[in-house]
Structure 1
Amino acid sequence: MEKEKTVTRQTTNVKDICYIAIFTAIIAIMAQISIPLPGGVPLTLQTLAVPLAGIILGAKRGTLSTLVYILLAMVGVPVLAGLSGGIGVVFGMTGGFILSFPIMALISGLVSDKGVKSPIYWLGLLGGVIINYIVGTVWFVIVADSTFAVALGACVLPFIPTAVIKLVLSGILGDTLKKAMHKANLL
């Protein structure tokens, strides 16, 4: 009986590591998908991938996948947008957005069992996005020695429409994929 528990625990741990690694790679790949926007600041899809990690993998594994992503970036692996990496980028002007990814994934994971029909689900996803913007904007103000008004104009206002689109996409896609993976006994 004890041996059976050990085998199950090891299998689960290997499975967890694989899912975390796969989602870390998905976040890195989606960070490279860049859509130019008016004003010169491109939109990347990593902020679509981060809540997906939480929704599909759950709070623990989703958060861990974002932490691994950040650690890879910090040691210089080019996983960030534009194939960049390094501690200078992670702690640069937009570092607050990156460093708040684990919170975003955690919140998405915590509400993921509610499903798309629940207001709690959508409020949780929105809360994760809002925290990402607050941390990122405050970080920008401090690091760039900027004003809050300039930070809002550079970091928030141009991205509100696409943030709403990504929130809806991640919510619907994440719930659909999670259900399909459960049905296929993959989660």
Structure 2
Amino acid sequence: MKKQFKAIDITLVGMFVALMTIGANITSIAPFMVVGGVPITLQTFFAVLAGAVLGSRLGSVAMTVYALVGLVGVPVFARFGGGFSSIISPTFGFILSFILTAYVTGKIIEKNNKLPIYVVAALIGLVINYVVGTNWMYFAYKFWAAAPEGFTYQMAWLWMVVPLPKDIILAVLAGIFAYRFDKSVLSKNQFRHLKKAA
């Protein structure tokens, strides 16, 4: 029997779509936060947080809805991008990776909800984000996008060195925050079984 979405599920999905939109467009107030065509955003933080807080199912649903909302034309992607043409963007792989990032992060925590596991799950989610996103970017530049002069696979990964320290720190913070949120808010009210129900 398929599990039905409750009003709180829809609300939380909408909240994380909004958070992803905000995180994606932080460069609108700090345009210098773009390296090699890759915006340095807070999307990875919120994708990890979605999985850690909402669980694998609802977290991945939230990220899927975010991707679909952008693809139908709502300007929720980085630099207020949107539309189906975004699928050929060199950075679209990162958007796809958010779905898997949230799912895997949530799935790991569902098996063991100790603080170290939250942090490890968040870091594994970050690795997934980087591996999927960077490889998509490389193949995009090689096969259908205009690659910068002298572009190589190594260069693609060198670009990712810039946001990496920030993303590692934020992933750890996401894990800690999600753990504390679970032990305080989720354990004391009607949301106690949120992730299990999802």
CA contact (8 A) 2:52 2:118 kept: no
**Is the CA contact (8 Å cut-off) linking 1:56 and 1:112 kept in structure 2?**
no
TM-score (norm 1): 0.83
Give the structure 2 partner of residue 117 of structure 1.
115
The answer as to 2:93 corresponding to 1:96 is yes
Moved more, 79-88 or 27-36: 27-36
**Residue 134 (structure 1) aligned with residue 138 (structure 2):** no
Higher RCO (CA-CA < 8 Å; seq separation 6+)? 2
Distance in 2 (CA, whole Å) between partners of 1:47 and 1:160 is 11
Cα separation, partners in 2 of 1:100 and 1:78, compared to 1, 3 Å = same
Counterpart of 1:153 (choices 158, 165, 169) is 158
Deviation at 1:166, TM superposition (A): 1.2
Deviations 1:3-61 (A, max 9, x none): xxxxxx87x62222222122222222222223544857542111111111111111111
Change (3 A) 1:121 1:175: closer
| Structure 2 residue 154 is the aligned partner of structure 1 residue 174 | no
Letter in 2 for 1:159: P
Distance in structure 1 (CA, Å) of the matches to 2:77 and 2:51: 19
The 8 Å contact of residues 17 and 63 in structure 2, kept in 1 or not, is answered as: yes
Structure 2: stretches of 5+ with no match in the other structure: 143-150
Shift of 1:62: 0.5
The one-letter code of the counterpart of 1:165 is: I
Question: Alignment partner for residue 20 of structure 2, among 27, 36, 49?
Answer: 27
Aligned 8 A contact 1:55 1:178 in 2: no
Cα 1:38–1:97 change in 2 (3 A) is closer
Question: Are residues 1:68 and 2:65 paired?
Answer: yes
8 Å CA contact retained: 1:90, 1:98: no
Distance, in Å, in 1 between the alignment partners of 2:164 and 2:15 is 28
Aligned residue in 1 for 2:7: 14
| Contact persistence 2:118–2:178 (CA under 8 A) | no
Q: Gapped runs of 5+ residues in structure 1?
A: 1-8
Tell me the distance in 2 between the aligned counterparts of 1:124 and 1:111: 6
Percent of aligned pairs with the same amino acid: 36
2:42 & 2:74 partners in 1: Cα distance?
18
How far apart, CA to CA, are the structure 1 residues paired with 2:132 and 2:22?
A: 23
User: Is the partner of 1:76 in helix, strand or coil?
Assistant: coil
Cα deviation, residue 116, structure 1:
5.2
Q: CA RMSD in A?
A: 2.2
Q: Deviations over 1:45-100 (max 9, x none)?
A: 11111111111111111000000000001111011122111122243101111111
Tell me, in whole angstroms, the C-alpha distance in 2 between the residues paired with 1:151 and 1:62: 28
